[in-house]
Each structure stands twice: as C-alpha cells, then as structure tokens.
Amino acid sequence: KTMEVRGAPLIGATAAYGIVLAIMEKNDPEFIQTSCENLIKSRPTAINLKWAVNRMMKKLSGVNNNEILKIALEEVKLICEEDVKFCENIGLNGLKIIEEIYNKKKDTVNILTHCNAGWLATIDWGTATSPIYHAYKKGIKVHVWVDETRPRNQGASLTSYELNEEGVPNTIIADNTGGILMQRGEVDMCIVGTDRTIATGDVANKIGTYLKALAAKDNNVPFYVALPSSTIDWETHDLKNIPIEERNSEELSYVVGLDENNNLKKVLIYPKKSKAMNLAFDVTPAKYVTGLITEKGVCEASKEGLKKLFK
C-alpha cells in the first residue's frame, strides 16, 4: 500500500515472500489465510499479486505444518527464477522488433516508455526495458524518451536511473510531451509495461498510458506492451471490470525532492483548499495496441492472439 515495493511482477514475488513471513510469524491456517486476503487487497489493479498468492496457496494446500515453510520457500524461489527467465525472453522477443526498425532506419531507434517497467519493477531485466537492454547490448543505437510519470515520478526517478546505470542514452520528458514528439517524427516506437492485461487484450497500466496510445495511433507509431504471462487476467473479458486503484490525493498535492543541501524535502505544490484526484491506473483498449510482447513471443492484442500463444 505504501509502495515500498511496486511494479506488477515484483509485487507478486514480494507477496509470495509475504506468505513465507506469515508462516514464520504464526504457522496457523486461519492466520495464513487472513494474511493472504490482506495481501490481495493491498494493490487491487496489479493481477500478479493475486496470481502469486493463489499459486502459493494452491501449492501449500494440504501440506502439513512441519513441511509448509520448506515448501513455501521452494515455491517462492521458483516464482523468482521464472520471472527472471520470462523477462529475459520478453527482451529477446522484443529485440527483434527494435532490430527490424533499426535495420530499416539505419539510425538511432527512439523509444518512448511510461512509468517504470524495468529491473526495479521485476526480479531482473524488467518487461518494457528488457528489449531495450538486449538491443543496447547487441550494439543497436537506441535512445529512450522517459515520461516523468506523475504523480510519483517513477519514470524520472527509477527508469532514468536504470538506463543511466546500463549506459543507455535517455531523456526525461514531461508527461504531456510525447504527443508532439510523435508528431515531429521523433518517436519510432512505444514500449510500456502493464499491471493487468485481460483476456481480450485490453491493458491496464500506469495512469497516462492510454493517452500515449491514442497519440501513437494518431501518428502511426507502433505501441507495444511487454508482459509475462503472470500479468494476464484470463477471467476478465470486459475492460470496465478492471478494478482501478485510487490512491491518496497527497501523492498529487506534494512532491518530494532534494534541496540545495541534498536533503529530502516534501513540498506542497497546490493551494491547501484545492481538491485533487489520484487514479493510479487507466485502461488502454486492445485496438490501440500494436502487439503484446511476452515470454512466449509477440502476439496480437486480442482474445485470439493470446489464445494462440498460450493455449
């Protein structure tokens, strides 16, 4: 809830570890069940959370008290190892798309991303950033436009940090800049992550993603969504049924940054009497998504596309 941990795949892995901690605290079925329910409630939009908790509970069902901690730790380790492999494969599959653009353009591929879907949001590699890292390691010239991603600025604070650490050229932009960059032909493709993609290919992601997809569609810019299979919600078939988390409005009203003495400061940027609304996610209809980049390959953002890849 406090976002000490964020990023859909990482939330899932952390929730799995949360169950281990619950077992260590009190190895009692009722206590463990309550802990699982509380974990699921903490971040309603990110489906990886529910997926990880349900997977853990299924694995632990019927296990005796003497074995439950050992089995839980083994399953958590497996979840984390799978996430690393899945994200690496997402990168290899997305690399082909970037490589195709580079071979055609014969110049730097400019990629726009939103929020943080990198190795700080997963166990490693990231989802949206994984193809970028693979391309850069292969010697393909890439440059990333990094949306600051208000109100918590995950793009500016986290994605840019990641890219700098990896040596990938990047430029932070205000959230509303993407449209004009696309109009000017300065964006070759968009890659974003997702907190929940439903069975029809509709994508829930950080607030502002939908507007980027609209701009991309209007300017014929390919718009890709990168995700592991754990982020697919196979049970939901209507985007209106995706729960959208609304967070404390103070996240919008205040900003946190370093002052001239390098001390963290929290500053109010709106009049005290002003109301603020803080929806954390929006939904991008599948018709605006060029393709879904998964660990199994790239598919059309549709029920048929997903079924062909995963069923």
CATH label of the domain that carries residue 213: 3.40.50.10470
Q: What is the pLDDT of residue 3?
A: 67
Burial class (CB in 10 A: 0-12, 13-18, 19+), 232: buried
Region 135-153: what's the mean pLDDT?
Answer: 98
pLDDT one-digit tens code per residue, 134-143: 999 999 999 9
Catalytic residue among 147, 195, 202, 233: 195
Residue type, 224: Y
Give 256's pLDDT tier (boundaries 50, 70, 90): very high
Dist CA 59 CA 160 (whole Å): 38
Region 166-173: what's the mean pLDDT?
Answer: 99
Per-residue pLDDT for 276 more than 70? yes
- Considering the domain architecture, whether residues 36 and 150 belong to the same structural domain is answered as no
| pTM value > 0.85 | yes
Dist CA 262 CA 13 (whole Å): 33
pLDDT one-digit tens code per residue, 9-61: 888 899 999 999 999 988 888 888 899 888 888 877 778 888 889 889 899 88
| Cis upstream peptide for 151 (omega within 30°) | yes
- Considering the domain architecture, whether residues 74 and 122 belong to the same structural domain is answered as no
Region 74-85: what's the mean pLDDT?
Answer: 94
pLDDT one-digit tens code per residue, 217-244: 999 999 999 999 999 999 999 999 999 9
From 80, 106, 123, the end of a domain falls on 80
* Count of domains for the chain: 2
Where b means 16+ CB within 10 Å and e means fewer, 137-157 reads eeebebbbbbbbbbbbbbbbb
Q: What is the pLDDT of residue 26?
A: 86
259 assigned to active site:
no
How much is the mean pLDDT over the chain? 94
CATH number at residue 64: 1.20.120.420
Q: What is the pLDDT of residue 4?
A: 79
Q: List the domain range (segments joined by +) for residue 134.
A: 90-310
Q: What is the pLDDT of residue 310?
A: 92
